[in-house]
Amino acid sequence: MKIIQAMKRIKDLKAKEEDLRDKVGRFCADLTMETPTYPDQKQQIREWIQAHHDILKEILDLRLAIQRTNLATSVTIELEGKAVTKNIAAWVHRRKDLALIEMGMWQKLGDRGLREQNVQTSQGGTITEVRIRRYFDPAEKDRKVELYRSEPLVIDATLEVINATTDLVTE
């Protein structure tokens, strides 16, 4: 089974377990004056609970297999003209939020609203030129912001292919 197949299977299983929970909630009790919906409603409830348990076990097994695969599978992605190799798990975390958090740091670099000006002393004396002193390279800032803005899209494109072609590690 490929990673993408496992992910889709989990989605399908989650829908089934939700349906079973709804059925149990709907049919787990009734009034004595009502006719039970199922011939042996108590047994039916037990079967649904067991089926729900079995589905959750399968979801867990698939999730663990995906995690094992994500940790065991290295993927190389080109970023800023360089080949960067990480396992799928690391790329997933970069995609989830780390690249955007890193972009946020680079976006903090700026002039802080300061302005360059010529200032005269209060006594009308010497005019002093006041300039902004930057402790960063604005060109590097622009490159890094763009890199981290686009990184999630590059990761998505690569992992779509990897998820469709990589077999699950099952122990």
Question: Which tens digit of pLDDT belongs to each residue from 140-157?
Answer: 999 999 999 999 999 999
99 shares its domain with 53 = no
**Cα 145 from Cα 5, distance rounded (Å):** 34
User: What does the pLDDT read at residue 30?
Assistant: 96
Q: How many domains does the chain have?
A: 2
Give Cα separations from 23 to 47, 50, 111, 158 (angstroms): 11, 13, 60, 40
> If you average pLDDT over every residue of the chain, what do you get?
96
For residue 51, is it within any domain? yes
Q: How far apart are CA 158 and CA 153, in angstroms?
A: 9
| pLDDT for the residue numbered 135 | 97
97 and 17 both lie in a single domain: no
Domain boundary among 51, 72, 93: 72
Of 45, 72, 99, the one marking the end of a domain is 72
Q: Are residues 23 and 86 in the same domain?
A: no
Indicate if 84 and 157 belong to the same structural domain.
yes
Question: Do residues 85 and 76 make contact, with C-beta atoms less than 8 angstroms apart?
Answer: yes
Name the residue with higher pLDDT: 120 or 42: 42
Domain boundaries, position 48: 3-72
pLDDT confidence of residue 159:
98
> What is the arithmetic mean of pLDDT over 62-88?
97
- Is there a single domain that holds both residue 11 and residue 60? yes
Instruction: Indicate if 79 and 103 belong to the same structural domain.
Output: yes
The whole-number pLDDT of residue 120 equals 82
Q: What is the pLDDT of residue 122?
A: 75
Neighbours of 48 (CB within 10 A): 18
**Is residue 36 in a domain?**
yes
SS (H, E, C) the chain: CEHHHHHHHHHHHHHHHHHHHHHHHHHCCCCCCCCCCCCCHHHHHHHHHHHHHHHHHHHHHHHHHHHHHHHHCEEEEEECCEEEEEEHHHHHHHHHHHHHHHHHHHHHCCCCCCCCEEEECCCCCCEEEECCCCCCCHHHHHHHHHHHHHHHHHHHHHHHHHHHHCECCCC
Q: Are residues 63 and 111 in the same domain?
A: no
Q: Are residues 64 and 84 in the same domain?
A: no
83 and 155, same domain (yes or no): yes
Rounded distance between C-alpha atoms, residue 77 and residue 66, angstroms: 20
